[in-house]
Structure 1
Amino acid sequence: MNHNNQPEIIVEGDSSSNKKYLLPFIFVISLFFLWGMAHNLDSSLIPHLKKACNLNNVQSMLIDTSVFLAYFLMAIPAGMILKKFGYKASMIAGLLVFAGGAFLFVPAANSLSYTTFLIALFIIGCGLTILETTANPYAAVLGDPAKATSRLNLAASFNGLAAMVAAYVGSRFILSGKSYSKAELAAMTEINRNSYFLEEASSVKMPYIILGSVLVIIAIIFCFIYFPEVKTKSIDGEAKGSFMGALRHKHLKWAVVAQFFYVGAQVCVTSSFIRAAQQGAGFSEATAGDYLIAYGFLFTVGRFAGTALLQFISSAKLLSVYAIVSILLCLVAVLGTGPIMVYALGGLGFFMSIMFPTIFALGIEGIGDDTKPGSSWLIMSIVGGAIVPVLMGALIDKFNDNVQLGYYVPLVCFIVILYFGLKGYKIAHK
């Protein structure tokens, strides 16, 4: 039954059986894992390319900027691609663009060109944007609408799993453990110095060649897999979704705002994690790195636990509870000293875990024709990952490099998310 003049969402094929959706859903889950790998490998790339290309801190942070800027610039074209060609073709396109960026790491490393690395990362970001614009709503609508949030959280659990795998790959195959001070580099002969830089840069080639090859193989497999196409049907028989028209849904607008602040908060928490642990708890860089891996583990556990909890608790209520706990943990991170403040940062991994997919699912709930353009808005909001951390950095600089005080910024972000979970998610019925 179609209530409140909402368009119906129709999945091609026999909607009475969920078995035929299982294989497509498994392959969609693989996409969540793959873009999780891309994002979490950046945590190793930032310090590694800082050494390999002899960069300052601002230059090294352009790695995240390149990827998140792509999300902002590519979101509208990605939505247009999805609307014109459908889910399957869009997913294949996203995989191939992603692979192209991965393969570009080879000439970037060979030429020791940081600009080429940034271009490669931007291309990867474009591929990720197409994949996320496509896979997030597809996972949400592929099956029983009542279980959309649970499905999205289950798929996103594998995105969290990638955080642990990427941390292992980065530490074992990208990071070399070699580091020289400016004085030591200056004392080297030019040949030895250039040899060191090239050796450091070369270590990224094999992981990204393997990643790119896997992406191409999966794209080829996708060509032969049946993916039910999701269509929307208005009461006059035609879909009428539009990019700007999607914002007539108040809860979608609030979801876009909440997602902007969530992604900003997540990048803030992880990008400053090691320095905060060193400064607030006196940990060594290696020990702080181990705790960051533990953060990734808790993030993964949180995704699976959240998926289970959503069977018994409404998604908006769980989001609100997690936002409240995250606010309290940020306070501990700011005001605490010793290991307890690092435990608080690690705990944020668990309680942030369900936020992105839950906000996404609540944002596109009941918007019918506007599901695809609405997804583009939610993917565009990921640009928060490029903007909010800059505010955190400015706050840290203002207070004499006090990294702990910077965690007031994600605290404010979680307050916005709390509002969305309490009120902003509600659909305004006309």
Structure 2
Amino acid sequence: MPSGHVAVPTEGPDEGRAPFNYRPALALLASLFFMWGFITVINNTLLPHLRSVFELSYTQTTLIESVWFIAYGLMGMPSAFVIERTGYKKAIIIGLSVMAVGALLMVPAARLPSYGVTLFALFVVASGITLLQVAANPYVAVIGPAESSESRLTLVQAFNSMGTFFAPYFGGYLILSRTMGGTSLEGTVLTEAERLADAQATQLPYILVAVVLVILAAVIWRSNLPAMGSATSRVAKEERKNHSLWRHRNLVLGVPAIFIYLIAEIGVANLFINFVILPDIAGITPARAANYLVLLWGGMMVGRFGGAFLMRRFPADKTLACFALFALVVMIGAATLHGPIAMWCLILVGLGHSIMFPAIFAMGIKGLGPLTEEASGLLITAIAGGALVVVQGWLADAYGLQNSFWLTVACEIYIIYYALWGSKPVVMGAPTE
């Protein structure tokens, strides 16, 4: 049996024949990253809205986001099999179509209104995003030189953060600012008629999202997006029997790193507005708090553009460790301080979180070669860690919202561990080259 080291393909689609210019494909994929970031963060403005409409506890509110991330856990590996059968381009089109169907399901969910139908609609949208994630992330990582994979994926993920940056404006204007619950202070009791009227506010935003998704699917359909199958799938069928995913330490420890990181990111983002509106923090309305949420996601966008630059000059693992240490410090501040300074600590954690997902993902699949698709499926499945935001909701109900952020502090510690030790691409149980 060979030593187990398998290089990730670096020559691009149908390699070995002519130099391949991957930049046009990379630019097109950036639009996908933008769109799923945009849709995911609409949830951050949707959650306080639904909490008001359905009179939910923190646990019930975070359960909405848990359903969203349960889709990653259930659909991650099936998405990898879809890509193997259809190829990257068709899989992306299928993912966009599924997302559009889920967005349209939000219309009957708002008309009824129904908490259950809302959960199902968000599950469908998340299933489509899962397929996009499994396809697009490894595509970006292997489409160019292996030595710059972390930087390249972080750069494209910056466009994901650009989508998250604009989404709170969109959701704040079309959902929160047009509802009684969104323009009232915490503790205001709405009448049945007001809650019913507020529920209708989600229809227009999701119709607009569905239209954009259909247009984007049509653009991808007509594009010349090169197939990556010749670089991974065909070789994989012959070589997979000789290689095991579980012998690659960077992947084995990278899966829990993604899982744990998502607990941190989603917990902060989803409870941000609820935290900021507390009287002893900022004491403002949800609509105003959505404007500060923009700064959280803006920090992630800036951090990713900056991180892509830094990782071209410094080792990716050391860069990740520095960002994680910064996140640890500001999260301790958010968990212990009061007033506006606690709010700003929570805003700044976006900067610390910025490069975590792309850096962990790229390091997790490094050296996997013909196992790249399955490894990608596992790492995307680990995004289901976001479902454990319901645990933070339970902690918030039991011990107070601010104290629940100690869970985030613990998550940052593991990311530091992975960056400094667990990310090393060593094949366990085999000699290294």
Per the TM superposition, whether the score is higher than 0.5 is yes
Which residue of structure 2 aligns with residue 258 of structure 1? 257
* Residue 105 of structure 2: aligned partner: 104
Q: What is the alpha-carbon distance in structure 2 between the residues aligned to residue 275 and residue 107 of structure 1? A: 27
CA drift of 1:334 comes to 2.1
Q: Distance in 1 between matches of 2:234 and 2:93?
A: 31
List gaps (5 residues or longer) in structure 1: 186-192
Deviation of 1:62 (Å)? 2.7
Residues 413/228 of structure 1: CA separation in 2 closer, same or farther (3 Å cut): same
Cα distance in 1 for residues equivalent to 2:415 and 2:40? 22
Q: SS of 1:172's equivalent?
A: helix
- Say if 1:378 and 1:280 are closer, same or farther in 2 by CA, change over 3 A: farther
- For residues 321-350 of structure 1, give each alpha carbon's deviation from its aligned partner in whole angstroms, at most 9, with x where no partner exists: 111111111222222233322222111111
- Displacement of 1:30 after TM fit? 0.9
**Alpha-carbon deviation of 1:273?**
2.3
Q: Secondary structure at the match of 1:11?
A: coil
Pick one of 419, 422, 425 that aligns with 1:424: 422
In 2, Cα distance between the equivalents of 1:408 and 1:342? Answer: 15
Counterpart of 1:281?
281
Matching residue of 2:180: 178
* 8 Å contact from structure 1 (residues 160, 299) kept in 2: yes
2: distance between equivalents of 1:227 and 1:42? 30
Partner Cα separation in structure 1 for residue 235 and residue 15 of structure 2: 23
Contact 1:53 1:112 in 2 (8 A): no
Equivalent residues of 1:149, 1:358 under 8 A apart? yes
Report the Cα distance in structure 1 between the residues aligned to 2:89 and 2:290, rounded to whole angstroms: 38
8 Å Cα contact 2:104-2:206 kept in structure 1: yes
Q: Work out the CA distance in 1 between the residues paired with 2:353 and 2:189.
A: 41
Q: Structure 1 residues 184 and 73 mapped into 2: Cα distance closer, same or farther (>3 Å)?
A: closer
**Paired residue secondary structure (1:43):** helix
In structure 2, the partner of 1:323 is 324
User: What's 2:270 paired with?
Assistant: 271
Q: Give the drift of 1:64.
A: 0.4
User: CA, structure 1 residues 253+99, in 2 after alignment: closer, same or farther (shift >3 Å)?
Assistant: same
Q: How does 1:287-326 map to 2 (within 5 A)?
A: 288-326=289-327
Residue 169 of structure 1 corresponds to 170
Pair 1:158 & 2:186 matched: no
Query: What is the DSSP-based 3-state SS (H/G/I as helix, E as strand, rest coil) of the residue aligned with 1:428?
Result: coil
User: In structure 2, what is the equivalent of residue 68 of structure 1?
Assistant: 69
| Distance in 1 between residues matched to 2:319 and 2:330, nearest whole Å | 16
Preserved contact between residue 13 and residue 20 of structure 2 (Cα < 8 Å): no
CA contact 1:6–1:234 (8 Å) conserved in 2: no
Q: Alignment partner of 1:226: what SS?
A: coil
Instruction: Specify the alignment match of 1:249 in structure 2.
Output: 248
1:221 aligns with 2:219: yes
- Using the TM superposition, name which of 9-18 and 200-209 deviates more: 9-18
Q: Aligned partners of 1:293, 1:162: CA distance in 2, in Å?
A: 10
Mapped to 1, the partners of 2:235 and 2:199 lie a distance apart of: 58
Q: Is the 8 A contact 1:249 1:428 kept in 2?
A: yes
1:344 corresponds to: 345
The equivalences for 1:111-122 within 5 A come to: 111-122=112-123
- Determine the structure 1 residue equivalent to 2:203: 205
Going from structure 1 to structure 2, the CA distance change for 1:276 and 1:315 (only over 3 Å counts) comes to same
In structure 2, C-alpha distance between the alignment counterparts of 1:261 and 1:233, rounded to whole Å: 28
Give the distance between the partners of 1:157 and 1:345, measured in 2 at CA: 20
Residue 154 of structure 1: CA displacement?
Answer: 1.0
Which SS does the other structure have where 2:88 is aligned? Answer: helix
Give 2:79's aligned amino acid: A
What is the deviation of 1:199? 2.8
By how many angstroms is 1:233 displaced? 5.9
**8 A contact 2:96–2:132 mirrored in 1:** yes
Q: Distance in 1 between matches of 2:115 and 2:66?
A: 14
How far, CA to CA, are the matches of 2:165 and 2:418 in structure 1? 29
The alpha-carbon distance between structure 1 residues 373 and 335, as it changes in their structure 2 partners (threshold 3 A), is: same
Contact 1:37–1:163 under 8 Å retained in 2: yes
What does the per-residue CA deviation read over 1:129-158, in whole Å, with 9 as the maximum and x for residues that have no partner?
Answer: 000011110111111222111111111001
Structure 1 residue 238, shift from structure 2 partner: 5.1
Matches within 5 A, 1:129-140: 129-140=130-141
Farther off after superposition, 327-336 or 374-383? 327-336
Q: CA deviation at 1:198?
A: 4.1
- CA–CA distance in structure 2, aligned partners of residues 57 and 237 of structure 1: 45
The letter of the residue matching 2:208 is I
Question: Distance between the aligned counterparts of 2:395 and 2:57, measured in 1?
Answer: 19
Q: Is the 8 A contact 1:280 1:341 kept in 2?
A: no
Q: Relative to structure 1, is the Cα distance of residues 54 and 391 closer, same or farther in structure 2, using a 3 angstrom cutoff?
A: closer
Q: Are positions 1:405 and 2:406 aligned together?
A: no
Could you say if the C-alpha distance between residues 239 and 413 of structure 1 is closer, same or farther in structure 2, counting changes exceeding 3 Å?
A: farther
Q: Which amino acid aligns with 2:209?
A: L
| TM-score normalised by structure 1 residue count | 0.90
> Comparing 297-306 with 349-358, which one deviates more in the overlay?
297-306
TM-score (norm 2): 0.89
Q: Is the 8 A contact 2:8 2:367 kept in 1?
A: no
Paired with 2:130 and 2:397, the residues of 1 have a C-alpha distance of 32
| Matched positions, count | 416
Change (3 A) 1:60 1:226: same
Query: Structure 1: how far apart are the matches of 2:8 and 2:326?
Result: 37
Residue 104 of structure 1 aligns to a residue in which SS?
helix
Counterpart for residue 390 of structure 2: 390
Residue-by-residue CA offset, 1:109-147 (whole Å, 9 max, x unaligned):
222122111111000010010000111101111112221
**Equivalent residue number for residue 188 of structure 1:** none
Are the aligned partners of 1:103 and 1:212 in contact in 2 as well (CA < 8 Å)? yes
